[in-house]
């Protein structure tokens, strides 16, 4: 298979399909909250302390972003201390934003602190603007002047003013950027059709601990009354529901039994219900679940939607699961255009999946056979590692760095559950 990968640095997972996973795993703090909490710390000079921060690549990148803005950050286990100066920077460089689109979340805090911000917009200009147009229009409604450059965007404002903002789509990032701008704006801001993901409520909890006046976080109507100044605070990041859902699928797809702890099962209500529809047994308890399955998984239909709908970040993992279920399943992806990059890779392993627009039709069960596949992105990469656990023989998942962005020690954790998963890091040379 080497011919698919020209001479290059190849970091990969090597997995040998085997038996059921058994044991227990504890997930870390939510990546998609911790990244924003780091940005929120910029709002208050002094030391903010975050606990239960996952040790993953995206956090390393976001740490580099806030250090670039003048902060000092140090880690002690899962505690991250961010020391914010009286004056923070106002620019994030392309090489950091290119690695982490989510770093666009500094727009709100820097506009609030400095009155001006310049952020590189990764990828094509239109794509970049489209993916942040709701962020920018929200900030513009609060008085910011937006200037578009070929590869960056600038925003300027004397003083942010509260506004009544209705989001055409319940965008997670736009909701968060507006909250981060509104907490010290002049007057009151309301956000209609706000995202309701649990990570939004987690961000609001830190902001409130810092002195913000926020009501309705976690619902689709949020009200923020601007306050004069915020203070640093301490906060424990909520458990990562997507990491938890990934290990839950690993238990079901390998017909094993795994206790997954460190998160709130109430944040995975629909996902756990779907696992039961597919035929897994799911026992819930405070702080975790135990998921087990024998043979005889059944097909199911899945539609991804903003929370509390089925999370798009567990779509690739469920696509894999459905390849092992008897019957025909339909999975509809409504949140991201074309988030079916995993399909070609699963088909290489022997899956029967046909994509029609934003629908994927899966026929199963299909025996998967090990092959060399490529992780196209974070969640699809994690799903391909799980695919290797059920495929006969050896599966190599290259571009493994994608998976490191959101999963700490996934190879070690899967090995602890009985999976044959190794990580290799080689410089492949032309033969």
Which candidate in 18, 46, 70, 125 is catalytic?
Answer: 125
Please report, to the nearest 10 degrees, the dihedral formed by the alpha carbons of residues 110, 71, 94, 109 taken in order: -20
Applying the rule CB under 6 A, the residues between 135 and 154 that interact with ligand EPZ are: 135
Which CB atom, from 41 or from 325, has the smaller least distance to ligand EPZ? Answer: 41
Taking CB under 6 A as the rule, which mask of x and - marks residues 22-61 in contact with ligand EPZ? ---------xx--x--------------------------
DSSP assignments along 329-346, one per residue: EEEEE-SSTT--THHHHH
If one asks whether residue 212 binds ligand EPZ (CB under 6 A), the answer comes out as no
| Residue from 111, 406, 407, 413 binding ligand EPZ (CB under 6 A) | 406
**Alpha carbons 109 and 347: distance in angstroms, whole number:** 44
Which CB atom, from 63 or from 257, has the smaller least distance to ligand EPZ? Answer: 63
If one asks whether residue 378 binds ligand EPZ (CB under 6 A), the answer comes out as yes
Q: Running DSSP on this structure, what letter comes out for residue 314?
A: G
**Alpha carbons 143 and 155: distance in angstroms, whole number:** 10
If one asks whether residue 5 binds ligand EPZ (CB under 6 A), the answer comes out as no
The piece of 171-179, 180-188, 260-268, 326-334 that touches ligand EPZ (CB under 6 A) is: 171-179
Which CB atom, from 137 or from 188, has the smaller least distance to ligand EPZ? Answer: 137
**Alpha carbons 52 and 75: distance in angstroms, whole number:** 11
The piece of 49-57, 165-173, 261-269, 346-354 that touches ligand EPZ (CB under 6 A) is: 165-173
Residue nearest to ligand EPZ (CB): 173
3-state secondary structure (DSSP) of residue 32: helix
The piece of 127-135, 150-158, 232-240, 290-298 that touches ligand EPZ (CB under 6 A) is: 127-135
The values of phi and psi at residue 112, to 5°, are -70, -40
Pairing of strands 359-364, 234-236: unpaired
**Alpha carbons 329 and 300: distance in angstroms, whole number:** 5
Contacts of 153 (CB under 8 A, 6+ apart): 118, 119, 121, 128, 129, 132, 136, 146, 147
Distance of CA 39 to the CA centre of its chain: 16
Contacts of 344 (CB under 8 A, 6+ apart): none
| Residue from 25, 56, 134, 160 binding ligand EPZ (CB under 6 A) | 134
β-partners of residue 156 are 116, 145
Applying the rule CB under 6 A, the residues between 293 and 312 that interact with ligand EPZ are: 312
Q: Residues touching ligand EPZ: how many (CB under 6 A)?
A: 23
Which CB atom, from 14 or from 104, has the smaller least distance to ligand EPZ? Answer: 104
Which CB atom, from 57 or from 291, has the smaller least distance to ligand EPZ? Answer: 57
If one asks whether residue 408 binds ligand EPZ (CB under 6 A), the answer comes out as no
71 is catalytic: no
Pairing of strands 22-26, 257-261: parallel
If one asks whether residue 319 binds ligand EPZ (CB under 6 A), the answer comes out as no
The piece of 79-87, 170-178, 259-267, 315-323 that touches ligand EPZ (CB under 6 A) is: 170-178
Which CB atom, from 189 or from 315, has the smaller least distance to ligand EPZ? Answer: 315
The piece of 164-172, 277-285, 294-302, 380-388 that touches ligand EPZ (CB under 6 A) is: 164-172
Which CB atom, from 60 or from 312, has the smaller least distance to ligand EPZ? Answer: 312
Contacts of 428 (CB under 8 A, 6+ apart): 2, 5, 7, 8, 9, 10
Chain position carrying tokens 């609030």: 112
If one asks whether residue 395 binds ligand EPZ (CB under 6 A), the answer comes out as no
If one asks whether residue 133 binds ligand EPZ (CB under 6 A), the answer comes out as yes
| Residue from 305, 336, 344, 358 binding ligand EPZ (CB under 6 A) | 336
Shortest reach from residue 410's CB to ligand EPZ, in Å:
14
Which CB atom, from 136 or from 252, has the smaller least distance to ligand EPZ? Answer: 136
Cβ(382)–Cβ(405) under 8 Å?
no
If one asks whether residue 214 binds ligand EPZ (CB under 6 A), the answer comes out as no
Terminal CA-CA length for the chain: 13
If one asks whether residue 109 binds ligand EPZ (CB under 6 A), the answer comes out as no
Q: Residue 330: which of 310, 359, 351 has the closest Cα?
A: 359
Contacts of 234 (CB under 8 A, 6+ apart): 48, 49, 50, 51, 209
Shortest reach from residue 409's CB to ligand EPZ, in Å:
17
User: Residue numbers of the site for ligand EPZ (CB under 6 A)?
Assistant: 31-32, 35, 102, 130-135, 169, 171-174, 197, 312-313, 335-336, 378-379, 406
The residues annotated with a catalytic role in the active site are 125
């Amino acid at each position: 298979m080497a011919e698919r990968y020209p001479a290059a640095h190849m970091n990969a997972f090597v997995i040998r399909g085997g038996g059921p996973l058994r044991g227990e795993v504890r997930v870390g703090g939510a990546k998609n909250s911790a990244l924003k909490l780091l940005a929120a710390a910029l709002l208050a000079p002094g030391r903010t302390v975050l606990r239960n921060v996952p040790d993953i690549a995206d956090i390393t990148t976001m740490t580099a972003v806030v250090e670039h803005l003048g902060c000092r950050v140090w880690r002690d286990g899962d505690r991250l201390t961010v020391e914010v100066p009286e004056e923070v920077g106002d620019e994030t460089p392309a090489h950091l934003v290119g690695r982490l689109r989510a770093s666009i979340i500094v727009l709100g805090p820097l506009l609030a602190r400095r009155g001006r911000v310049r952020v590189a917009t990764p990828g094509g200009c239109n794509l970049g603007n489209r993916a942040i147009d709701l962020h920018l229009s929200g900030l513009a409604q609060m008085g910011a002047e937006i200037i578009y450059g070929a590869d960056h965007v600038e925003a300027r404002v004397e003083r942010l003013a509260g506004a009544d903002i209705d989001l055409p789509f319940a965008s997670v990032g736009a909701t968060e950027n507006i909250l981060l701008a509104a907490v010290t704006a002049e007057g009151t801001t309301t956000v209609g059709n706000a995202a309701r993901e649990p990570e939004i409520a987690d961000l609001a909890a830190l902001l409130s601990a810092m002195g913000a006046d926020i009501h309705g976080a976690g619902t689709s109507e949020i009200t923020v009354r601007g306050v004069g100044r915020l203070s640093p605070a301490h906060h424990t990041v909520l458990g990562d529901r997507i990491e938890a859902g990934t290990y839950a699928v690993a238990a079901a797809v390998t017909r094993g039994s795994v206790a997954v702890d460190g998160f709130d099962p109430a944040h995975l209500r629909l996902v756990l219900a779907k696992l039961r529809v597919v035929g897994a047994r799911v026992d819930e308890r405070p702080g975790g679940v135990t998921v087990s399955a024998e043979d005889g998984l059944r097909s199911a239909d899945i539609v991804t939607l903003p929370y509390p709908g089925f999370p798009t970040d567990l779509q690739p993992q469920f696509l894999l699961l459905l390849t092992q279920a008897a019957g025909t399943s339909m999975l509809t992806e409504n949140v991201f255009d074309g988030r079916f990059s995993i399909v070609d890779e699963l088909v290489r392993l022997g899956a029967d999946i046909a994509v029609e627009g934003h629908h994927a039709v899966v026929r199963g069960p299909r025996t998967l056979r090990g092959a060399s596949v490529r992780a196209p992105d974070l969640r699809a990469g994690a799903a391909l590692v799980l695919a290797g656990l059920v495929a006969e023989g050896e599966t190599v998942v290259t571009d493994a760095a994608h998976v490191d962005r959101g999963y700490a020690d996934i190879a070690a954790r899967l090995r602890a559950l009985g999976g044959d998963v190794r990580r290799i890091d080689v410089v492949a040379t032309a033969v």
